[in-house]
Amino acid sequence: MDELIQHLKELTLDITDRLDETTYEELELFVEDRQELVDSIAEQAGICKPTHAQKQEINRILGYDNVILDRMNALRLEAQDWLQKRNQAKVQRSAYEAAYTPDSLLMDRRK
């Protein structure tokens, strides 16, 4: 179990060291890899009880969760903002595009 915890620690420290330039794809891979490790650790914890030192190390690793979640939320808000701007531009563009048939005629009346 120590190896799994150490691997989880390395994975977490690696992502937090370069968190500012991390893309959402990298975070997605991190979450998938982390989940596999957490599942393995939980499986091992069911077989043999973790020591106090192992529990402390896991809690230290969990301390990085807020920083990682903050980055994920920042990326989510960035994507949400981009989508809103894109939809707004689409609405504005469609307002200027003519919705007419090309064979139609326009008739003006003189007053």
Per-residue model confidence as pLDDT tens digits over 50-107 = 888 988 998 999 899 999 999 999 999 999 999 999 888 888 777 666 555 566 666 6
Per-residue model confidence as pLDDT tens digits over 3-35 = 888 898 999 999 999 988 888 899 999 999 999
Can you tell me which residue has the tokens 């595009």?
97
Q: 40 pLDDT exceeds 80?
A: yes
Q: Are 12 and 64 in contact (CB under 8 A)?
A: yes
pLDDT of residue 69: 92
The pTM assigned to this predicted structure is: 0.68
* Contacts within 8 Å (CB) and 24+ apart, 57-61: 57/5, 57/9, 58/5, 58/8, 60/9, 61/5, 61/8, 61/9, 61/12
